[in-house]
Amino acid sequence: MHSPAAPAPAPAAAATAAGLAQTPHPPGAWFEHRARLGAVLAPMAGFTDAPFRRLCRHYGAAWAVTEMVSAKGLSLGTGGGVEVGEPYPDERDVVIQLFAADPALAGAAVERLERTYRPAAFDLNMGCPVKKVVNTGCGSELLRDPTRAAAVVRAMVAATLRPVSVKLRLGIDSVVAVEVARAVVDAGAVALAVHGRTARQRYEGEADWDRIAEVAAAVDVPVLGSGDVVDEAGYARARARGLGVMIARGSLGRPWVFACVRGSAAPDATEIALVAWRHVRDHVAWYGGEGSLRRLRAQLGHYALAALVDRAGGETTTAASAFRAALVRAERSADVAVAFARFVGVDPRHPPADLDPTLRALVDAPALRRPTSGSPPRGPAG
């Protein structure tokens, strides 16, 4: 990956970030250095909240990107999902993702989020193919208009001294990623993450890493590829091409994938049960009650599949089906613990004594809770 030249800070950025230490390194160096440390947790609506980000960082994610925050929602005072950008205590290297089509709203959103949370960087979503997002001109719809996309990026860059990246797809129904990538980099984006599919493909077919490599060759900023990397071999192939790696769906119910792509062994069913229970505990504590567990059900289904692969080789049996059904219908934390105890033979509420020290530290850590409203905003990461 290549480092870009450092752009001159805009006057608005200097005002917004008054008092913040400026780094002597090019802004893209933040991404380039960390991308060498491991794969990155991709932003996923409904999934990459604070509890899941912490688990992925525990297993070696180089950094994590939040769920997307609506710039328009912030401007209307509806929140726009601002809470999904909230760092957990001591979280470092978090990147907040925005979706926006209006440059002015994007810049204002960056200013507000920086004052509130002080993330390490910001990211613009140009890849989401969901209809309710593209119908507002946001997400992958920006791929139709590189000029507008560049204007949004330019406004974000002008509002902060923190680095700004863009996550995009290859195109909507045809490949236009090189043209769009050049436009947003010229506007000030200092890193790109490219999903190797078009918006029309959504998640069908194989990700095209040759096309991702074409984007990397066309711009002088760090480029991460996304799509279908779930093991050490896939990670090594991407790194051999000089690309960073971003993992999305492959991490669901498998936060340990960030360790596995760097050579660690996959966990057994006992560890899976304990990690799932850690996720449940943190989720309930973070959101303030058992009623929040419904939001986690989709993730629990993925944990069930991971445990099934370990215990039954993925084979569908009556007991296995009952196990997964129990998790995706769980109403309370205890329902999850009982399901794992029955299928795996380990009650995660009472973990074995002979755990690996790293796993023991994860299991014994206090439940993750939101900072109090009076907590000071986070300072810039390393």
* Strand ranges, E, within 170-317: 191-195, 223-226, 244-247
Extract the tokens encoding 196: 């190797």
Place of tokens 């000030």: 188
Annotate 22-77 with DSSP letters as a single string: PPSS-THHHHHHHHTTS-EEPP-TTT-SHHHHHHHHHTT-S-EEEEEEEHHHHHHT
Tell me, yes or no, if 56 is annotated catalytic: no
Q: What are residue 69's phi and psi, to 5 degrees? A: -105, 135
**Residue 64's closest CA among 89, 35, 36?**
35
Phi (first) and psi of residue 194, to 5 degrees: -120, 120
Whether residue 50 contacts residue 247, with contact meaning beta carbons closer than 8 Å, is answered with no
Three-class SS state of 297 = helix
Cα separation, 80 vs 237, whole angstroms: 38
Residue 161 vs residues 20, 84, 214, 358: alpha-carbon distances, Å: 9, 22, 29, 36
Q: For residues 118, 121, 124 and 125, what is the CA-based torsion angle, rounded to 10 degrees?
A: -90
| 299: Cβ contacts below 8 Å, ≥ 6 apart | 47, 52, 252, 253, 279
Among the listed residues 279, 240, 239, 224, the one whose alpha carbon sits nearest the alpha carbon of residue 256: 279
Q: Whole-angstrom Cα distance, residue 64 to residue 77? A: 26
- At how many degrees (to 10) do helices 177-186 and 209-218 cross? 30
b/e sequence 222-235, b meaning 16+ C-beta within 10 Å: bbbbbbbbbeeebb
Determine which helix (DSSP H) or strand (DSSP E) holds 41, and give its type and residue range. Answer: strand 40-41
Whether 253 contacts 52, CB under 8 Å? no
Please identify which of the residues 56, 128, 138, 260 carries the catalytic annotation: 128
- Please report which helix (H) or strand (E) contains residue 56, including its range: helix 50-58
Residues marked active site are found at 128
